[in-house]
């Protein structure tokens, strides 16, 4: 677990005056030397390099200035120099006066966070305990230590810390939530719910009580109550709850969750999370048509590369790789800097089409774009490994990747398989044993593959079945079971599980036909019959999705390898190109627009990712009824009694019209920049179509998608 790292409150960093701490306790004055004061000033201004120069001079003149050491530690930590940061925090604790409790507590907390990131839990807990000694009423550190004890299953110590919090402040929800999570871990769900109920009563708009109470209801299999709590938590912007919906829902709960998300989407059509999460659940259920429908709805609310990539993933999982390429390129148009990401999609699509040469060209491009990324080499190695004519070349790429990331267990498995097929059994078995030793409890798949190659059949099957037990409809988990059975020489059971995977959405005949885990079965009649089932599933997917989304297939050609090189727009879905005049002021492009019937100018910025509006403009629109309270979205959004919208508020612009192009429900963030009343970035541009700028004619040309 990672605790929140504390840096420096402005009251401490910016002033040399004594800082009050606790019940009347006075902190000692900090040093008043020139270099130290200038270092603090530079640090506060974000000038870390300049601050480092001043602190280095200070520490050269006064190596016992503990305050300078703690600043130096913070800068080193921010630069990723963890070793120096640990040494500097230690020096800070050595020299900061014993009476400077607040600064010593910060140093202990910050050093603890580094130890915990390094998986040195015991030292991390020791430092948290020392921080608590500096301030016995430090609720945040007590909560962090209690949660560590809970994770370590030292429930007695965890309960003691959470009860200490409640003794300090009976209304502090971190104590209640901590106790509730202990009860959840011990499957005492009713007791847990009582704790979360009180926490939700005390802090009704804090998402954590709802997300953790959902765990309790899931434990009791009360799916509807769990789904309601998760929806509430997401409404209050809890990323943990969103992740739980996207990844960890029991199969029995997914239909209920979909219903609740559908209701939420109807009630709040401007929140992109509702259709996005529904699309992810349908993707996990292999309902690709429904997933694409929801993801397109999300993209209509807030177009961004991730949503378009998700549509690409749907088409690829459905076995329709040429359409996956289309959406991968559309995503890349909104995020042109992510070249390696685009090339990765292109490689997977080319491989799915069976075009090995094209896939290898994309692999080479990936390595050129990210030569220091081990996964770049692993991707090319895996492609070569599955191609008989290139199999011998795979080892060099595996070794290159392992040089960059020597602990990658999947790559070790591939190397072990390569060595085994090359007749180097002793070396292969040594690698398999290493994977078994390294596999963590949550990495059951790596363990299962390695164990199966060591003849540990029962252990291999027990581990690979854990994912199926969690979700019996998960095609990936079912396919892994099939692979393990095949590696164990149990052909009938292997093909049975491939069939189950196909029934639950598996549709990649090229992968299945070249998978070395099924090598002994290749060419046999049962294998060929199963290969035809995989192909049939892919073809059925294409027919279904072509019928549901005809515009996506309008540019489909007889050759699946033909993909346009620019943003793909179906020829019959393009309407007249719009030409919109712009002016240049102070180096920025301004275009006239109408927002909710209010004429404004916006800054057209192809490099920005979001839509922003100034606090002045937003407040004016609210006070003059161009915005209503319903247009303020997000749990952290608020409006004062005078109608002023606070910086950071998320707004829904109901209608944006410029040059005859109209977009509904555009989300915008309120910022303090008074010089840019409205800035339109990529999240809007992606909803328009192809965008070109003619600087000479001062025209923006937009070819919208129908």
Report the predicted TM-score, pTM, of the whole model to 2 decimal places: 0.73
SS3 592: strand
Residue pair 237/635 in contact (Cβ under 8 Å)? The answer is: yes
pLDDT at 9 over 70: no
> 4-8, 390-394, 529-533: which range is least confident on average?
4-8
pLDDT at 166 over 50: yes
Average pLDDT over residues 197-209: 95
pLDDT at 158 over 70: yes
Q: What is the rounded average pLDDT for all residues in the chain? A: 84
Average pLDDT over residues 466-490: 91
578-581 β-sheet, strand order = 578-581, 699-704, 689-694
Q: Which residue has the higher pLDDT, 17 or 284?
A: 284
Structure tokens at 90: 């230690």
Q: Which residue has the higher pLDDT, 275 or 17?
A: 275
223-228: Cβ within 8 A, 24+ apart: 223/250, 223/252, 223/253, 223/256, 223/257, 224/256, 224/260, 226/253, 227/253, 227/256, 227/257, 227/259, 227/260, 228/260
SS3 147: helix
Average pLDDT over residues 122-149: 95
Residue pair 346/362 in contact (Cβ under 8 Å)? The answer is: yes
Residue 389 — pLDDT band, cuts 50, 70, 90?
low
Residue 203 — pLDDT band, cuts 50, 70, 90?
very high
Q: What is the DSSP letter of 645?
A: B
Q: Which residue has the higher pLDDT, 673 or 416?
A: 416
> 312-316, 635-639, 668-672: which range is least confident on average?
635-639
Q: What is the DSSP letter of 671?
A: E
pLDDT at 701 over 80: no
pLDDT for the residue 638: 34
Q: E-strand spans in 570-636?
A: 578-581, 583-585, 588-595, 598-604, 612-614, 632-633
pLDDT at 353 over 80: yes
Q: What is the pLDDT of residues 543-594, one digit of tens each?
A: 999 999 998 887 554 333 333 333 233 333 334 566 777 777 666 777 778 8
448-456: Cβ within 8 A, 24+ apart: 448/480, 448/484, 449/413, 449/483, 449/484, 449/487, 450/409, 450/413, 450/416, 452/484, 452/487, 452/488, 453/416, 453/417, 453/420, 453/428, 453/429, 453/487, 454/429
Q: Which residue has the higher pLDDT, 181 or 472?
A: 181
Alpha-carbon distance of 637 to 413, in angstroms, equals: 49
Alpha-carbon distances of 428 from 30, 236, 412, 419, 521, rounded to whole Å: 61, 51, 9, 5, 22
Residue pair 406/383 in contact (Cβ under 8 Å)? The answer is: no
pLDDT at 675 over 90: no
Q: Return the H-helix or E-strand segment holding 661.
A: strand 661-671
pLDDT at 379 over 60: yes
Alpha-carbon distance of 535 to 532, in angstroms, equals: 5
pLDDT at 429 over 50: yes
Residue 684 — pLDDT band, cuts 50, 70, 90?
low
Which residues make Cβ contacts (< 8 Å) with residue 600, sequence separation at least 6? Answer: 592, 593, 594, 617, 677, 678
Q: What is the DSSP letter of 391?
A: G
pLDDT for the residue 640: 37
Residue pair 476/464 in contact (Cβ under 8 Å)? The answer is: no
pLDDT at 629 over 50: yes
pLDDT for the residue 683: 58
Alpha-carbon distance of 483 to 603, in angstroms, equals: 55
Between the ranges 13-17, 98-102, 387-391, where is the mean pLDDT highest? 98-102
Smallest CA-to-CA distance from 201 within 192, 209, 212 is with 209
pLDDT at 18 over 70: no
pLDDT for the residue 573: 37
Which residues make Cβ contacts (< 8 Å) with residue 170, sequence separation at least 6? Answer: none
Phi/psi at 47 (nearest 5 deg)?
-90, 75
Q: Which residue has the higher pLDDT, 594 or 634?
A: 594
pLDDT for the residue 239: 84
| % of the chain surpassing 70 pLDDT | 85
Average pLDDT over residues 247-263: 93
Average pLDDT over residues 659-688: 69
Q: What is the pLDDT of residues 71-120, one digit of tens each?
A: 999 999 999 899 999 999 999 999 999 999 999 999 999 999 999 999 89
pLDDT at 705 over 60: no
pLDDT for the residue 689: 63
> 205-209, 217-221, 402-406, 683-687: which range is least confident on average?
683-687
Average pLDDT over residues 692-706: 68
Residue 125 — pLDDT band, cuts 50, 70, 90?
very high
Structure tokens at 324: 């996956």
> 56-65, 438-447, 537-546: which range is least confident on average?
438-447
The domains of the chain, with CATH numbers, are 1-135 (1.25.40.10), 574-704 (2.40.70.10)
Alpha-carbon distance of 536 to 614, in angstroms, equals: 55
Q: Which residue has the higher pLDDT, 339 or 128?
A: 128
pLDDT for the residue 560: 34
pLDDT for the residue 391: 65
Q: Which residue has the higher pLDDT, 677 or 60?
A: 60
Average pLDDT over residues 169-194: 97
Which residues make Cβ contacts (< 8 Å) with residue 704, sequence separation at least 6? Answer: 574, 575, 578, 661, 688, 689
């Amino acid at each position: 677990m990672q605790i929140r790292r504390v840096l420096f409150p402005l009251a401490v960093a910016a002033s040399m005056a004594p800082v009050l701490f606790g019940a009347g306790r006075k902190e000692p004055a900090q040093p008043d030397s020139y270099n130290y004061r200038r270092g603090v000033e530079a640090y506060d201004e974000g000038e870390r390099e300049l601050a480092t120069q001043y602190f280095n001079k200070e520490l050269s003149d006064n190596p016992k200035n503990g305050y300078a050491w703690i600043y130096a530690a913070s800068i080193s930590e921010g630069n990723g120099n963890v070793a120096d940061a640990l040494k500097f925090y230690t020096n800070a604790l050595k020299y900061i006066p014993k009476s400077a409790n607040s600064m010593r507590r910060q140093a202990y907390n910050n050093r603890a966070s580094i130890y915990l990131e390094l998986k040195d839990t015991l030292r991390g807990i020791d430092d948290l305990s020392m921080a608590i000694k500096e301030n016995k009423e430090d609720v945040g550190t007590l909560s962090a230590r209690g949660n560590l004890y809970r994770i370590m299953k030292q429930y007695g110590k965890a309960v003691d810390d959470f009860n200490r919090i409640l003794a300090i402040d009976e209304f502090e929800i971190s104590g209640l939530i901590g106790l509730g999570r202990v009860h959840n871990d011990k499957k005492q769900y009713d007791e847990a719910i009582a704790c979360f109920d009180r926490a939700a009563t005390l802090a009704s708009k804090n998402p954590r009580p709802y997300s953790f109470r959902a765990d309790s209801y899931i434990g009791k299999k009360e799916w509807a109550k769990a789904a309601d709590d998760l929806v509430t938590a997401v409404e209050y912007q809890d990323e943990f709850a969103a992740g739980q919906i996207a990844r960890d829902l029991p199969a029995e709960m997914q239909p209920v969750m979909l219903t609740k998300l559908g209701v939420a989407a109807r009630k709040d059509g401007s929140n992109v999370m509702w259709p996005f999460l529904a699309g992810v659940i349908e993707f996990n259920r292999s309902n690709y048509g429904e997933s694409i429908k929801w993801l397109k709805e999300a993209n209509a609310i807030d177009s961004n590369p991730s949503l378009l990539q998700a549509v690409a993933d749907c088409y690829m999982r459905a076995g329709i790789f040429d359409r996956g390429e289309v959406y991968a390129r559309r995503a890349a148009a909104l995020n042109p800097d992510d070249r390696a990401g685009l090339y990765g999609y292109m490689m997977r699509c080319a491989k799915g089409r069976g075009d090995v040469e094209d896939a290898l060209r994309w692999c080479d491009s990936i390595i050129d774009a990210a030569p220091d990324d081990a996964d770049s080499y692993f991707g090319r190695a895996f492609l070569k490994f599955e191609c008989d004519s290139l199999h011998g070349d795979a080892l060099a790429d595996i070794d290159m990747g392992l040089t960059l990331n020597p602990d990658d267990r999947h790559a070790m498995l591939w190397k072990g398989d390569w060595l085994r097929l090359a007749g180097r059994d002793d070396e292969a078995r040594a690698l398999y044993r290493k994977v078994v030793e390294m596999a963590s409890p949550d990495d059951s798949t790596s363990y299962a593959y390695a164990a199966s190659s060591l003849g540990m059949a029962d252990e291999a099957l027990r581990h690979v079945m854990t994912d199926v037990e969690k979700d019996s409809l998960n095609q990936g988990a079912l396919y892994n079971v099939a692979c393990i059975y095949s590696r164990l020489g149990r052909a009938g059971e292997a093909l049975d599980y491939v069939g189950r995977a196909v029934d639950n959405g598996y549709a990649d005949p090229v992968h299945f036909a070249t998978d070395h885990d099924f090598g002994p079965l290749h060419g046999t009649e049962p294998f060929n019959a199963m290969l035809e089932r995989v192909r049939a599933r892919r073809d059925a997917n294409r027919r279904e999705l072509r019928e549901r989304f005809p515009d996506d297939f309008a540019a489909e050609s007889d050759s699946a390898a033909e993909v346009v090189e620019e943003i793909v727009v179906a020829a019959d879905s393009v309407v007249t190109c719009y030409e919109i005049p712009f002016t240049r002021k102070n180096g920025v492009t301004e275009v006239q627009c109408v927002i909710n019937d209010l004429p404004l100018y916006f800054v057209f910025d192809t490099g920005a990712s979001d839509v922003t509006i100034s606090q002045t403009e937003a407040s004016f629109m609210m006070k003059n009824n161009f915005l209503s309270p319903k247009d303020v979205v997000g749990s952290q959004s608020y409006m004062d009694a005078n109608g002023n919208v606070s910086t950071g508020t998320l707004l829904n612009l109901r209608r944006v019209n410029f040059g005859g192009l109209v977009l509904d429900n555009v989300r915008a963030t309120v910022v303090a920049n008074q010089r840019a009343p409205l800035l339109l970035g990529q999240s809007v541009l992606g909803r328009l179509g192809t965008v070109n700028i003619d600087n000479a004619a001062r025209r923006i040309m937009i070819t919208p998608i129908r």
